[in-house]
């Protein structure tokens, strides 16, 4: 498989403790990769480094063969990267529509709101509202939505960005089966469109259903990688992650 993202000898530490420890790993293009491991294994830290929220102390990042010492937040649009967060980053006092429009701002957040009636934004907005099934709530403030609806709105914000690489940080946590099914369908559609997905998730059943490739982290290092079936057969993974 072609490689979309590669990190070489990546290190990130906090207060002298290495959350990522000389990590080298590749993420294939055009498929869904599951990023799994025990709590504290470095999964979210790695995602935060790759999306510009944290700077590594050492190592090299390659995105679509372009080399970087670190990723900055203002580079994400150019690199066609979008992401969600474990804790929602929605603006609760703003409507569903306006929360969806914010990520497509070119310079500052209010730019998109000023142009909210342009045809390009409007067509994309309608399509995303349909996909996340929140059309009837378009004028509601985000703070009035249920937990599951907020998760869907967060995913809708990534869909507005026409990205090629999508990072999802525990998108299924705390959801009822219906919402899980909706998000699975959205991700399958992204895969069909040839997008690259990186998903942090603890539910191995969902990993098996959705992911083509899995990377297992443990104490900031790569414990195992391969297809879900291959990884689940790995004795080290079973001991460190599954407790078997």
User: Cβ(232)–Cβ(57) under 8 Å?
Assistant: no
pLDDT for residue 242: 56
pLDDT for residue 241: 63
Query: Could you give the CA distance from residue 107 to residue 184 in angstroms, rounded to a whole number?
Result: 32
The pTM is what?
A: 0.91
Collapsing DSSP to helix, strand or coil, 51 comes out as: coil
Domain limits, CATH 3.40.50.300, in the chain: 1-80+163-244
**CA neighbor of 42 nearest in space, from 231, 243, 216:** 216
Q: Please, which residues have CB within 8 angstroms of residue 8's CB and are 6 or more apart in sequence? A: 24, 59, 60, 62
- What does the pLDDT look like over 178-231, one tens digit per residue? 999 999 999 999 999 999 999 999 888 999 999 999 999 999 999 999 999 999
Q: Please, which residues have CB within 8 angstroms of residue 73's CB and are 6 or more apart in sequence? A: 51, 52, 53
Strand ranges inside 45-179, DSSP E:
58-63, 66-68, 81-83, 165-169
pLDDT for residue 107: 43
In CATH, the number for domain 1-80+163-244 is 3.40.50.300
What residues of the chain score a pLDDT lower than 50? 107-112, 117
Neighbours of 139 (CB within 10 A): 9
Q: Which residue has the tokens 């997905």?
A: 197
């Amino acid at each position: 498989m072609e490689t979309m993202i590669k990190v070489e000898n990546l290190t990130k530490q906090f207060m002298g403790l290495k959350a990522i420890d000389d990590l080298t790993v590749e993420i294939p293009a055009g498929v869904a990769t599951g990023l799994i491991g025990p709590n504290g294994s470095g999964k979210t830290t790695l995602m935060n480094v790759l999306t510009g929220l944290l700077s590594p102390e050492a190592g090299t990042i390659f995105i679509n063969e372009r080399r970087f010492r670190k990723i900055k937040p203002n580079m994400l649009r150019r690199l066609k990267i979008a992401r969600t967060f474990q804790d929602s980053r929605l603006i609760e006092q703003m409507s569903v529509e306006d929360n969806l429009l914010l990520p497509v701002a070119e310079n500052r957040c209010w730019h998109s709101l000023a142009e909210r009636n342009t045809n390009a934004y409007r067509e994309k907005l309608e399509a995303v509202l349909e996909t996340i099934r929140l059309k009837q709530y378009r004028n509601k403030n985000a703070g009035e939505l249920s937990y599951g609806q907020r998760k869907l709105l967060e995913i809708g914000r990534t869909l507005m960005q026409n990205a090629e690489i999508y990072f999802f940080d525990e998108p299924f946590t705390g959801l009822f089966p219906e919402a899980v099914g909706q998000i699975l369908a959205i991700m399958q559609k992204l895969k069909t469109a040839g997008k690259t997905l990186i998903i942090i998730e603890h539910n191995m059943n969902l990993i098996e259903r959705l992911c083509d490739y899995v990377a297992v982290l443990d104490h900031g290092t790569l414990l195992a990688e391969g297809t879900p079936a291959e990884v689940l057969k790995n004795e080290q993974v079973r001991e460190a992650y599954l407790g078997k």
